[in-house]
Amino acid sequence: MADPVYQLVYISRATRPLDDPELARLATGAARFNGGHGITGLLLHDGSRFIQALEGPQPAVETLMAQIAHDQRHDSIAYVERRPVAAQQFGGWAMDARRVRDFGGAQAFLDDLKRMLTAVDDHRLVAAFIGFAMLGRPELRARRPLPGA
């Protein structure tokens, strides 16, 4: 039986907006590092916050997280999950980074995100990523009536 994969998910506050070239450089650097250390991940950025899932060998993920925690581009890190899982759930990419508002229409972004999360077995994590995206796309919130309304 293969060793379990270590999964770490966090949300943080951006200290300043990232422009498209900077987000692309961050994703490229992360993919290069992660690919060499057996780490996969998904990063969403909505202009003021980040949510990121990292998966791989626990020592490599925790070492990477220690580096991320010192990155000046964000602060106020809140850990959503730190646990072993049977297999990678956030895709086979070394790092997929997406800006919540960059993908066509709001519903198209949400549909794409749901497809990306089909392997995630923890409904809390699915809800965290979808909720994050909805908060970053006001037009999605506006379409959903509140219960009892």
Q: Structural domains in the chain?
A: 5-143 (3.30.70.100)
Which pTM does this prediction carry? 0.84
pLDDT tens digits in sequence order for the chain, 149 residues long: 467 899 999 999 999 888 888 888 888 888 889 989 999 989 998 888 999 999 999 999 999 999 999 999 999 999 999 999 988 888 777 778 887 765 566 778 788 888 888 889 899 999 999 888 888 655 554 555 444 44
What pLDDT sits at residue 90?
A: 84
DSSP code string of the chain: -PPPEEEEEEEEEESSPPPHHHHHHHHHHHHHHHHHHT-EEEEEE-SSEEEEEEEE-HHHHHHHHHHHHT-TTEEEEEEEEEEEESS--S-SSS-EEEETTSSSSHHHHHHHHHHHTTT---HHHHHHHHHHHHHH-HHHHHHSPPTT-
